[in-house]
Amino acid sequence: MTDFRKSTVYQIYPKSFYDSSGDGLGDLRGITEKLDYIRDLGVDYIWMTPFFVSPQKDNGYDVEDYYRIDPRYGTMEDFEELSRQAAARGIRLMLDMVFNHTSSRHQWFQKALAGDETYKNFYIFRKGKAPGVPPTNWESKFGGSAWEYVEQFDEYYLHLFDVSQPDLNWDNPQVRREIQKIVRFWMKKGVKGFRFDVVNLISKGSFEDDLQGDGRRFYTDGPNIHRYLRELNETTFGTDAEIVTVGEMSSTTLENCYQYAGEDTGELSMVFSFHHLKVDFMGNEKWVMVPFDFQKLKDILYEWQTKMARHRAWNAVFWCNHDQPRVVSRFGNTEKYWKESAKMLGTVIHCMRGTPYIYQGEELGMTNPGFTDIRQYRDVESLNHFRILQEKGLSRENAYQILAIHSRDNSRTPMQWTAGPHAGFTAGEPWIQVTDNYRYINAQAEQEDPDSILNYYRKLVRLRKEYDVIARGEFEPLDVRNPSVLVYKRLLEGEELLVICNFYGKEISWSCGENLESFRCLLGNYQEQKIDGETAALRPYECMVLYREK
C-alpha cells in the first residue's frame, strides 16, 4: 500500500501534455508514451484533469458525460492501456471529478430544460425577486450574475461558474446516488485516486443577497458539506483503503479543513487550499497588478502547516496547477536567476508537511508565455475579464499586462519536450501557442544537464521517500518576521531538518543561534554552501536543506 505521506503527485493537463496523433491536442496515448519520463521523476500518482466528454467551454470542467472518454483524448481502451502501463511502472492514476456542476449539455440538464421535474430537481432553479431581477445578487466566478434566466419556466438556474455549467442540487438524494455510481464505475476501472473539483461548494446555504461581497459566504463550506463527504466516502472510495483523495477547497477555512482532511474524520485524505496563492491579489480581487506580499505568504504557509498538524489533518502542498500562473514567473526570477529561483521554490514546497504536487513543466522551470494579443488566449475566464477590465476603464495595454500575470492560460501552454518545432509537443498546429523559450527550457536539454531544474526535482522527490522526517515530521517556523528568508524546521524522533530559502535576488547573511556546521547538507541550489558557525551567507535565491540526527 502506497503511503501518501511519502508520495508525490504529478499533475497532467492532457490537452497540453503530449499529442500522439498530430491534431494539436494532447491525448491519453500521449501520456502513455511519456510514462517513462514520469517514472524517472520518481512520482507515485498521476492526476489528470478531466478528459470526459465535454463541449470544452471550460476546458473539460464542464462535463457532458462522466462515463465516456472525450474522443479528442482517445477511447476507453486508451485509458485502460494507460492504466495498465502506469501500474507496470508503479504509478497510480488519480481522476479529476467535477461534481459541483455539469455541462448544460449533460442529459440531466437537457431533460430539466424539457420540463422533466425529476431532473429539474437535479439542479437549482429559483424564481426571480421581481421581473428581470435574479433570485440573489451573487456573482459568477467567471464574471457577471451567477443566475441565468430560463424563459419557459420564468425561473433562473444557478451557475457559480460559466453559464454553461449549471450547479447540481446536492440536497437531492438522487443526485448523490448518481455521483456515487460514477465514482464506483471508475473504481472498477482500477483508479486509485480522486481529486474533487471545488467540492466545498456543493452544499449551498441560504439563498439571499450578499450585502458584503459576491455571495461566496452563502455557498462555501455549506451546512451539509461534511455529511455529504462522509456519505460519499462510506459508499465509494472509503471501501478501498488504497484510494487517495484530495479536495479542492475554494475560499475555505482552516476549521473546515481540519474536518475535510482529518486523520479520523472519514472524509478526504487531504485538501488543496489557495490562500497562499492570493498574496498578489488585492483582497479577493485577482485581476490587478500588485507585487506579492512575502510576509503574508509566509504567515499563511506557516499557519496552515502548524495548525493542520495540530489537528492531525493533511495538506496537499503546491505552487502550480492548470488554474495558476507559473510559479517561477510569479515569485521567482525568470531572467538572471531562473534556475536558482525555480529550485528554491521547489524546495520550499517539497520539504513541507503534506503531499507535494508537481504540475507538468514545473519540474523544468517553465514560465508564463507573455502573450500580447487576445487572440493568443483560449481561457473563458481570461476572455471575459479582458472585456470586463476595459469596461471598468482600464486601457487595452493594462488589461494585457494583467492577463500576462494572472491568466489561467499561463500554465496551459504545451509541455516543452524538445527544442524542435512546437517544443516537440505535436507534429501539427498546437491548440494554444508554445512559449517562446522552449529552445532552452525543455525536457530533452534538462535530461542531459546534471545541474538542471529537472534533476533537482528528482532529488526532491527522492528525499521525501528516504527521510521520514520530511514525510512525517512536525513543522516549526523560524525567524518568522525576516523580510528576506523563509526558514523552517522539520522534527521527528531524533531527526532534524532545517530548510533555509532566500526569496530575493540579493546576498544576505542569516543567523539562527545554533551551530549550522553540526548539520550536513542534503541538497542546495548552489554547488557549495557558505556556512560559518551560526551564520549562513546566502546568495541570490539560495536554498539549503540541512539535516542532523540528535
Catalytic residues: 197, 248
In sequence order, what are the residues at sequence separation of 6 or more whose Cβ sits closer than 8 angstroms to the Cβ of residue 517?
A: 531, 532, 533
Q: Which of 226, 248, 228 is nearest to 236 (CA)?
A: 228
Is 81:32 a contact under the CB 8 Å cutoff?
A: yes
Q: Give me 241's grid cell.
A: 483503503
CB 270 within 8 A of CB 263: no
Give the integer Cα–Cα distance in Å for 81 and 99.
26
Beta strands at 45-48 and 92-97: parallel, antiparallel or unpaired: parallel
Cβ atoms 408, 381 nearer than 8 A: yes
Cα gap 347→526, rounded to integer Å: 13
Alpha carbons within 13 angstroms on the beta-carbon side of residue 396 total 3
Pairing outcome for strands 543-549 and 520-524: antiparallel
Dihedral sign for Cα atoms in the order 498, 499, 504, 507: positive
Query: In angstroms, rounded to a whole number, what is the distance separating the alpha carbons of residues 536 and 533?
Result: 8
3-state secondary structure of 457: helix
- The per-residue DSSP string of 78-147 comes to HHHHHHHHHHHTT-EEEEEE--SB--TTSHHHHHHHTT-HHHHTTB-EE--SBTTB-SS--B-TTSSBSE
Cell match 497540453: residue? 16
Which is it for the CA torsion 198, 355, 322, 240, positive or negative?
negative
Q: Which H or E run includes 306?
A: helix 294-310
Instruction: Retrieve residue 216's grid coordinates.
Output: 461566496
Instruction: Say if strands 92-97 and 193-196 run parallel, antiparallel, or are unpaired.
Output: parallel
Helix (H, G, I), strand (E, B) or coil at 478: strand
CA–CA distance from 91 to each of 16, 43, 83, 135, 465 (Å)?
20, 7, 9, 47, 15
